[in-house]
Amino acid sequence: MVRIDLVLEGAEADGGALHGPFGASAASKTIQQEATLWSWPAARRPVVGASRAAMHAKLLATDANVALLSSANLTDKALADNLDLGLLVRDPEVMRRIIGHFRSLMQPGVGPLELVTNDKATSGA
Q: What is the pLDDT of residues 61-115, one digit of tens each?
A: 878 888 888 887 767 777 788 888 889 999 999 999 998 998 999 998 889 998 8
Mean pLDDT, the chain, rounded, equals 78
| DSSP state letter for 80 | H
Please report how many Cα atoms fall inside a 13 Å half-sphere around the Cα of residue 66, on the Cβ side.
Answer: 2
Distance CA 97, CA 13 (A): 33
Confidence of residue 23 (pLDDT cuts 50, 70, 90): low
| DSSP state letter for 46 | P
Residue 33 sits at the vertex; the CA angle it makes with 23 and 125, to the nearest 5 degrees, is 20
Q: What is the pTM assigned to this prediction?
A: 0.64
pLDDT at 3: 72
Confidence of residue 124 (pLDDT cuts 50, 70, 90): very low
Q: How far is CA 31 from the centre of its chain?
A: 14
